[in-house]
Amino acid sequence: MDSAAGQLNQYISEITEEPANNALQFWCMRRVRYSKLYKLAENLLSGPALQAYVERVFSLCGMLTAGRRNRMNRSLEMREFLKMNANVL
């Protein structure tokens, strides 16, 4: 299977038949078979489970969308970007 879509379909059918217990081992053993999907899986699996930065972003988004700020014309993404980068600006 050369296309990413073909590899994805094959991966889904394989996982449906027999779920993997160890994701890292699964992808190490199948890195050649799923060459198009391997890099994506590697990136997803290498991310830490908890990140304080992400939690701060979600918290800030909650504050920016609270009732006291719901009439702003700027998008949430723009407000979040400006708030998180205020020290640079």
> Are residues 41 and 14 located together in one domain of the fold?
yes
Q: What is the identity of the amino acid at 41?
A: A
Question: Could you count the other beta carbons within 10 Å of the beta carbon of residue 36?
Answer: 15
In this structure, is residue 89 part of a structural domain? no
The verdict on 34 and 61 lying in the same domain is no
Q: Is residue 15 part of a domain?
A: yes
Q: Say which residue the tokens 């800030």 belong to.
A: 60
Q: Per residue in 41-87, pLDDT tens?
A: 887 777 666 667 677 777 777 766 666 555 656 676 676 777 777 77
9-45 residue pLDDT tens: 898 888 888 888 888 889 889 999 998 888 888 877 7
Determine the structural domain holding residue 32 and report its residue range.
4-46
If asked whether residues 37 and 66 sit together in one domain, one would say no
- Looking at the structure of the chain, the number of domains it has is 2
